Amino acid sequence: MNDFALEFIKISKSFPGVQALKEVSIQIRQAGVHAIVGENGAGKSTLMKIAVGELLRDAGIIKVFGQEAQISSPSDGYRYGISLIHQEFSLVPSLDVAQNIFLGRELTKGRIPFMDNRYMYERTERILESLKMFHLDPHLKIKDLTVAQKQVVEIAKALSLNSKIIIMDEPSAALTLEETHRLFEVIRELKDNEVTVLFISHRIEEIFEIADQVSILRDGELILTKSVSQIDRNQVISNMVGRSLEFVFPPKAKQKKDGKVILEAKNISKERQFSDISFQLKEGEIIGLAGLVGSGRSEVALTLFGLSQLDSGGIYLQGEKANINSPFEAIKQGLALLPEDRRELGLVIVRSVLENLALPALYWDIARKYFINLKREIYLGKEVQKELSIRFASFSQKAESLSGGNQQKVVVGKWLITKPKILIMDEPTRGIDVGAKLEIYNIVNTLAQRGIGIIFISSEFSEILGIAHRILVMSEGRITAELDPKNSTEEDILKFATRKKVS
């Protein structure tokens, strides 16, 4: 008996101009959890898509449970019991959990074309129970679920198809710490049910928490496959980036002793989002705003930037009360926001890199008198490209064709052109690879050195500790602690970030 659920044997794939995979061979053990890691563009997603037939391989063999498999279209993937869960879910928001799980293969009562709803809801409930997700009601609409719950629905859907191999593309990318732990519990349940799990991840800590085996890809080649017990964190990182890289945070920006207060929030509140938030930001200071998703930290950011309105309290800029009721007004006052969802709020992905870079500054600088100063536009574009070392082939390239890290740098760049005094960064390193993260940290430090006040929001507490001068922790819409990173730990932050309101 062969104990491999899935075997890739010398898989190659090329796209116009790039060799995405070069003779990659990986063996996946049955009922194990196998992590695939690598920087952006390493070929992880390509390999996974080939496994389920969404992409056609150029060469190589795929074996499923020891047998050579003919996988050339997505329906083949299902036939062999392999499901791929994408980062962007393929669920219909207006339908409920059970309807989504049985979408396209609804069961009928015998030959009558009426749906057998009772059976479908019962079966859904049973699948959810097998995942120990007792509180997820099959009648809930997808649009009312959290990201984590939607993921469970996708997993349940795969199980209802009798998938024996489930592949997840960065399942934790959009989850909070807590949700990630719950996802891992589900993955353990899957393992107990003899399901093989393959997952792609950016977060190295997760590999050690959940995986049995890890494979590292770099530039389309397999670097190694090892048992997790035989490798450590630094080895994973150095193999991913291809150079030895001690993951240390760059030295923090030096803070001026007597920096002026440039932003002050006094008891700001917004119903059901946050209440009674007060803090001061000095020039050149980096405040780390820590909290789990839903703690109200992003809402504070959106409100400071005029995308949402205050119910009470006041925002003071350079000591004067400011009335920020739109992003236009915020930019005028020297604020900039690097949003959490850069594809939704940060970039116009169908437009070019240069257009994106120039967008906020058109009014104030590049096109003050209606007409665009094309020379100035390209000059400023080149300047930030150099400063942030943004990598792209041409300024006219669409923003969507850039990697996550470079997209993020474009968003930073578009704000730098406006010469902001205050920069709010909401989860600036989410979904970007280790190398790009380091670059972002360096940029943050440089900007602070230049006197820009920075509010750095993150749910990765290690990076908050590594970057901030001062830490504010939020939970349930309130600031629960102010910590000094010099003598705090991740556990300290977590303690205050999960503190419930005492009423």
Partner 1 sequence: MNNFRFKNVVRQYGILIGLIGLIAVFSILSERFFTISNMLIVMRQTSIVAFLGIGMTFVILGAGIDLSVGSVLAFSGAVAAGVIQNGGVFLGILAGLALGAALGAFSGLVITKLRIPAFIATLAMMAIARGGTLVYTDGRPITGLPSSFAFLGRGYIGNIPFPIILMLAIFIFAYIILKLTRFGRYVYATGGNINAARASGIKVDNIIISNFAISGSLSALTGIVLASRLNSAQPTAGMGYELDAIAAVVLGGTNLFGGEGELWGTLVGAFIMGILNNGLNMLNVSSFYQQVVKGIVILIAVTVAQSGKK
**Spatial distance between the Cα atoms of 93 and 133, rounded to a whole number of angstroms:** 20
Nearest residue to 411 via CA among 461, 343, 335: 343
Assess 424 for contact with partner 1 (CB under 8 A): no
CB of 415 to partner 1, least distance (A): 9
Among 136, 362, 378, 481, binds partner 1 (CB under 8 A): 362
Residue list 6-35, contact with partner 1 (CB under 8 A): 16-17
Helix 404-416 to helix 434-449 angle (10° resolution) is 10
Assess 381 for contact with partner 1 (CB under 8 A): no
Assess 379 for contact with partner 1 (CB under 8 A): no
Site stretch for partner 1 (CB under 8 A), options 185-193, 268-276, 363-371, 456-464:
363-371
Site stretch for partner 1 (CB under 8 A), options 151-159, 317-325, 343-351, 426-434:
343-351
Site stretch for partner 1 (CB under 8 A), options 293-301, 339-347, 420-428, 429-437:
339-347
Contact letters (x/-) for partner 1, 307-336, by CB under 8 A?
x------------------xxx-xxx----
**Spatial distance between the Cα atoms of 273 and 289, rounded to a whole number of angstroms:** 15
Assess 305 for contact with partner 1 (CB under 8 A): yes
Among 32, 171, 334, 339, binds partner 1 (CB under 8 A): 339
Q: Which residues make Cβ contacts (< 8 Å) with residue 436, sequence separation at least 6?
A: 40, 403, 404, 405, 406, 408, 409, 429
Closest to partner 1 by CB, 74 or 327: 327
Nearest residue to 231 via CA among 209, 197, 199, 208: 208
Assess 394 for contact with partner 1 (CB under 8 A): no
8 A C-beta contact, residue 235 and residue 430: no
Closest to partner 1 by CB, 361 or 471: 361
**Spatial distance between the Cα atoms of 72 and 74, rounded to a whole number of angstroms:** 7
How many binding residues for partner 1 (CB under 8 A)? Answer: 32
Assess 161 for contact with partner 1 (CB under 8 A): no
Site stretch for partner 1 (CB under 8 A), options 204-212, 223-231, 274-282, 351-359:
351-359
The two structure tokens encoding residue 192: 């107990």
Three-state SS annotation for 90-120? CCCCCCEHHHHHCCCCCCEECCEEEECHHHH
**Spatial distance between the Cα atoms of 113 and 289, rounded to a whole number of angstroms:** 55
Q: Give the DSSP letter string of 212-270.
A: SEEEEEETTEEEEEEEGGG--HHHHHHHHHTS-----PPPPPPPPTTPPEEEEEEEEEE
Closest to partner 1 by CB, 267 or 326: 326
Among 88, 258, 320, 344, binds partner 1 (CB under 8 A): 344
Assess 378 for contact with partner 1 (CB under 8 A): no
Assess 432 for contact with partner 1 (CB under 8 A): no
CB of 404 to partner 1, least distance (A): 16
CB of 288 to partner 1, least distance (A): 22
Closest to partner 1 by CB, 141 or 343: 343
CB of 106 to partner 1, least distance (A): 30
CB of 442 to partner 1, least distance (A): 25
Among 224, 231, 345, 481, binds partner 1 (CB under 8 A): 345
Among 371, 386, 394, 487, binds partner 1 (CB under 8 A): 371
**Spatial distance between the Cα atoms of 272 and 99, rounded to a whole number of angstroms:** 31
CB of 64 to partner 1, least distance (A): 29
Closest to partner 1 by CB, 344 or 491: 344
Closest to partner 1 by CB, 14 or 130: 14
The two structure tokens encoding residue 26: 């990986």
Cα 448 to its chain centre, rounded Å, is: 25
Assess 414 for contact with partner 1 (CB under 8 A): yes
**Could you report how far apart the first and last alpha carbons of the chain are, in Å?**
60
- Residue 432, helix vs strand vs coil: coil
Cα 18 to its chain centre, rounded Å, is: 25
The two structure tokens encoding residue 363: 């009014």
Assess 252 for contact with partner 1 (CB under 8 A): no
Long-range contacts, stretch 87-90, CB < 8 angstroms, 24+ apart: 87/169, 87/170, 87/173, 87/174, 89/150, 89/151, 89/153, 89/154, 90/154
**Spatial distance between the Cα atoms of 48 and 122, rounded to a whole number of angstroms:** 32
8 A C-beta contact, residue 165 and residue 133: no
CB of 171 to partner 1, least distance (A): 26
Closest to partner 1 by CB, 15 or 193: 15
What count of residues does the chain have?
503
10 Å CB burial of residue 298 (0-12, 13-18, 19+) is buried
Assess 346 for contact with partner 1 (CB under 8 A): yes
Assess 350 for contact with partner 1 (CB under 8 A): yes
Closest to partner 1 by CB, 211 or 330: 330
Assess 393 for contact with partner 1 (CB under 8 A): no
Site stretch for partner 1 (CB under 8 A), options 118-126, 194-202, 225-233, 371-379:
371-379
Closest to partner 1 by CB, 350 or 502: 350
Interface residues toward partner 1, by CB under 8 A: 16-17, 305, 307, 326-328, 330-332, 337, 339, 344-351, 355, 358-360, 362-363, 367, 370-372, 374, 414
